[in-house]
Structure 1
Amino acid sequence: MGECRPLGFLIGLPFAFVAVIFSLVGALVWVLGTVLSCLCPCCICCVGAVKLSVSLLKLPIKILRWFTEKIPC
């Protein structure tokens, strides 16, 4: 799958670095949302924040895959 696409990986690294920063923010939001949902289970907005943070945690992998797919073989 990624045998002949090393340039896509290298070009995507700066964007993946930004995505890693977003994922760290997502991890912080996830921890805070989990603590808040345990303290007050009636806060439905905490569930949305936790779902958003999980998508932020997966962002670096998605960006690297997207870049490697865009580079032709």
Structure 2
Amino acid sequence: MDDCRPLGFLIGLPFAVLALALSLLGAVIWIIGSILSCLCPCCICFSGLANLAVSLIKMPVKVLRWFIGQIPC
């Protein structure tokens, strides 16, 4: 229970909800980028767009971990 910091979780929760909305947008971008990448594999920009979307999908977890890490015990 050394890493249990409920205050950091509570402070980061509103920002994580905002990041969750961005991750839903990232999921849509990822689906569109994957479809376009399959249709035209010669365009490397679609794979970069899909990688950006994946990082947007992972954002809520990163935000919560960052806030939890900022609060000292």
> Do the two structures share a fold, i.e. TM-score over 0.5?
yes
CA distances 1:46-71 after superposition (whole Å, capped 9, x unpaired): 01100000000100000000000101
Instruction: Tell whether 2:45 aligns with 1:32.
Output: no
Aligned to 2:41, the other structure's residue is in SS state: coil
In structure 2, what is the Cα distance between the partners aligned to 1:30 and 1:20?
15
- 1:32-71 equivalences in 2 (<5 Å): 32-71=32-71
- Point out 4+ residue stretches in structure 1 off by more than 3 angstroms: none
Instruction: Tell whether 2:25 aligns with 1:20.
Output: no
Aligned residue identity for 1:71: I
CA distances 1:1-55 after superposition (whole Å, capped 9, x unpaired): 432x101000000100110011001000000000000111111110110000000
Q: Normalising by the residue count of structure 2, what TM-score does the alignment of the two structures yield?
A: 0.94
Consecutive unaligned residues in structure 1, runs of 5 or more = none
In structure 2, what is the Cα distance between the partners aligned to 1:11 and 1:61?
14
- Number of equivalenced pairs: 72
Aligned to 1:46, the other structure's residue is in SS state: helix
